[in-house]
Each structure stands twice: as C-alpha cells, then as structure tokens.
Structure 1
Amino acid sequence: MIDAPATHPSTLTDLADTLERSLSCSREVIDLVVTTFAAGGHLLLEDVPGVGKTTLARAMGRAIGGETNRIQFTPDLLPSDLTGVSIYSQDSRDFAFHPGPLFANIVIADEINRANPKTQSAMLEAMNESQISVDGITHVLPDPYFVIATQNPIELEGTYPLPEAQLDRFMTCASFGYPSAQAEAAMLVSSDWSRPLDRVHQICTADEAIAIRAAVRRVALCDAVADYLVAIIQATRSREDIRYGASPRASLHLAAMARAYAFIDGRDFVLPDDVRSLAVPVLAHRLVLRDAGFGSGSLDRARDIIADIVSAASVPKV
C-alpha cells in the first residue's frame, strides 16, 4: 500500500484543493494538471485569452515550491533567449554560461504559438530530456521539471501552428472554457479578485515532488490493461479519417497518466477505467486528421474520434 508520508496521495489532493480555491476553472481541469505533474509530463492549455491559463500555471508553481519562470513568447524571440548564452569574461579569459529562463522547476511558456518555429523547436530537447545543449555543452535542467504552455487558438492573428513533434511532447492538452455564470459573478464581488494567488500556499517541496513522481512510476500496470491501452493506440493508426495516429510516445504517456491517476486514487495498480478516463486529453492533440484544417475545430473533432475509439474498445476484466 501507499503509506509513506512524503509520497502519500493526499499531498496531490491537497494540491488540487489549493488550486481550486484560487481559480474559476473546473475541478476536472485542475485534476488533470495535478495528474500530469505527478506523471512527470508537460501540459498544453489551449483556449482564448483571459480565462486564467497563466494564473493556473503561476498557482501551480507556488503550490509545489521550487523556482518558477514565465516566458512571454513573441515573434521576435530567439532560441538563445530561452536556453541562455555563453559570454566571454575578460577576467577569467574564458566563456561563462548564463542560463536562460528554461532553467526552473516550473516553466510557464505563455502563448507559445506566438513564437516562430525556430524558437519553438528550442523547447524540444528541454521537454523530452530535461536538458539543453548550448555551444556543444549539455546542461541538465532542474528536477522536478514541468512545462505548462498556453496557446491561443491558432486561427487568431499572429500565431504559428505548433509542429507535430512538439505537440507529441506534451503529455496532456486541456481547454478551460468560459467559467460558469456563478463562478464569474463570484469573481466580480470578491475583494481580492485581482490577487488570486494570495489564496495559494505551498503544499510540497521540490524533493517531495520528486519522491511522488518516483512512487507513481512504481504503480503496477498488468498485461491485460497494457493490451487494452495498446488496442486504443493501434485503433488511431487504422482509421481512414486519421492521417497519422498516436505515436509510441503517446502509449508511454497514457500509461504514465494512468499510473498517476491510480496513485491519486490510493491504488498501487492501474484499472482499465483509468485508461478510459485519460485517453482523450492524452491522445487527441497528437492526431493529424485528414482534411481537418487547423484550429480548435480540429481538436474538437479529434476528441470526438478518441471518444468513439474508447467506446468501441473491448474492456478487459482485471
């Protein structure tokens, strides 16, 4: 059973609770953020401006401790603005590396699709390997490392579509949607509406977060559930309305999310329902559809396709 204090599931439940107190988005989105963090992945938030994407990312950074950096992506941003540069020092007569904003536990990549493709590609090594290479030297990024990227729908002016290779490195993708009328009204009458982060307090340290992620990796996933998961992945590769289906990385990400979901529920084993619950946010943003175009309409259609695949998959008895 899971009982070590530093790796107890209640830590993640407390984390979700403190985020919910400061945000107007649904608990479902907050739970997905916390699960993605526990699984060791990165999160893409896609929605229109002004619904609280950046606030959620900042709140997450405050709640888990460690260093948080925010990067505002713009068309003139250069890769070195993210990774850092080596500067020659007259005193030491040598080059000294000055780290960029990617060197933090929580990196908020705000409006990532406003940067040009060359700058977007600078995120790939950081997200996939938790390291960056500058001037032939590899620099390891802090642990834990968690990227929360936000993007506006790509049909808005001045944005660039994220390449498929980068989308595949986001473990999950979620949309806030507009808050309910009740939540929006409560925000208007609140005396601290402009300071939502004041209601967020630290839940765990960086070391405790590392321990939680290690405990999640130890959650068991039996052969029957693995076969069920792979059947869903394989189905995305054989449909006529999908040009390119989910990658093997998607399989690994879905398994990691299922383990984190089970851990938060207090179990040390994965159930088929864990996979079913997470298939849409883990897989939909990776699909390349035939004749779907770009924008949020394509993502909505991909979500419907994944839901259909999951509904049609035979659920094993475990």
Structure 2
Amino acid sequence: MATFKAIRIDKADKGTTAALTQFDEAELMEGDVTVAVEWSTVNYKDGLAVTGKSPVVRRFPMIAGVDFAGTVLESSHSGWKAGDKVVSTGWGLSETHLGAYAQKARVKGDWLVRLPEGMTARQAMAIGTAGFTAMLSVMALEKYGLTPKHGPVVVTGAAGGVGSVAVAILSKLGFHVIASTGRAAEADYLRGLGATEVIDRNELSGPPKALAKERWAGGIDSVGSTTLANLLSMTKYGGAIAACGLAGGMDLPSSVAPFILRGVCLLGIDSVMCPIEPRKAAWARIAKDVDHAKLAEMTTEIGLDEVIGAAPKILAGQLRGRTVVKIS
C-alpha cells in the first residue's frame, strides 16, 4: 500500500508528539472523496494541535491541519469527479478526522466547496479557515443591518489571520476600520490593508466597565475574554459585535448592561460546522470582495517541513497575516 508525507500527531506519556513522517494510505479514514492536497495554511487551531498546548486532537494517530485546497483523485460522491478543484475547511479536520498537512486527504464529499472561479488553490488557502471565518463575521454584521453609514467598526487581533482579512474586506466595503493590535510595528501594514485607525490592544485589556464611552457601531473579535467585554461596553446604541475567536481566553467578564441599555447584539460565529449553503455563499463573496493584491501582501509561504516550527510562533502572535503551506 502506498505511503505519503504527513505531519502525524501521536499520544505520548506527557501530552502529544508531532513529526513529519510517511503515513500509510491504509490508515486513511472513511470518506467518499480522495484529494491530492496541494496547499494548506497555519491557523491558530493548527498551532494548538501541533504543539499540544490545548487538547483539540481527539483521536490518535492524527494528521494535523484544519483546511486544504487540492484536486480530486477519486470520488464515489455524485457531486465530485476526478480532476475537480476543491476547498475544505473545518468539519473536524485535525480534531476527529485526519487533516490537511498531508499529500492526500480522504473526506466526505459534502465537506467540499468548489474552488471559486478565478482563484488559485494557493489564494484559497491564503484565505483559509481564518479568512473564511472573517467573511462569515462580515456577513453576520451585514445580516444584522450594519452599513458604513452607521459608523466605525473595530477589528481585534488585527495583524493576525482573521484580523488581516477582516480589515481588508471591511475597508473594501467602505467601512471606517479601527484596527486593534499589540504589535505597534504593524501599523503601516494594517493601514496598507485599509485600516483608517490603529489602536493599541491595551486600550481594550483593562478591567471592563459595564458601560464605557461609545466608540464603534460594530466589530469583529477573535480574542474573547476581557477584550470582548470591553468591545461590548464601547459599542454604540444598536450596534453589534461578531465573536469568532478565543486567543485571549474563553471567559467573558461582562455584564448585561450593553445588551439591555444600549441594545447591543453579540453575534456568534462558527466556521467549523457551518452548513454548506452559507459556506458556498461565503466563498462566493470571498472571490468578489477580497482584493488579491492585499491578499498577496498579507501572505507568507512555507513548506510542509516548516509547519512544526511555525506552530508555536502563531500561538505567540509572531506570525503576521496568513501563512500558506505548500504541500506537494
């Protein structure tokens, strides 16, 4: 039986181990589509899985990597045939199902989205789970009714993957974007993506008030915890915050005051189990609303053999924008 390169995670006496090794095709899990993986990415969850800093991996052995783009090799699914270009994000990849840091992946055809016309597999992974999550967040704010005329919007963790794409999309849509970051050196980078203002994340890290001065009509938060509590307390009457991450923690030390005194809404964003139709809609919007020049500016490329070294860096906030992984 054939083997292929993959980053394999195994259970160890203390935690887990991750290594680039040969994986036996016979160990691939059930699925009706087999894909030659061409590109993947480094997301925050990938950093947790590869380093073992959080127990996101729930079966062993595991192939890490939560998203991929590639070409269908074999399919018994009615919607896909050999040669089709596809994208997959979430669905438990790298958690409960063998993931994307490998030359092959076998998944359910219902987990796949067609690569948008005019977009390369590399560009799709420059978007990846982080950018897909950012677009879902933008769409949630739009569904709520938020438009540029309502006022500024804030993006936290702005120099990271979700934040970089969110800044670029929101600015293209005409919003006045306030980018929050702990990396002052990235101010010019963020303005290049379209941010109108750049603020220090310390402005959002102090003990949150029940209600603070109104500063923005909405926002996208990938940090959680105290940062999200402060965002809510500073949101204008009738505004909304889309919450899509927990880099700062899972707690929310807030109060009901923003909700019952200012009518603020907290919009929850899940990209892992998002149904297929919203996925298709989000990827269609990505193809239309993401500036390819800005995408290239925020993207760095590494090889599969560099992923293990990159994992702790994304957890430490040392990776700017998006990092794509060339698989083959």
TM-score by length of 2: 0.27
Whose strand fraction is larger, Structure 1's or Structure 2's? 2
Higher relative contact order (CA 8 A, sep 6+): 1
Whose helix fraction is larger, Structure 1's or Structure 2's? 1
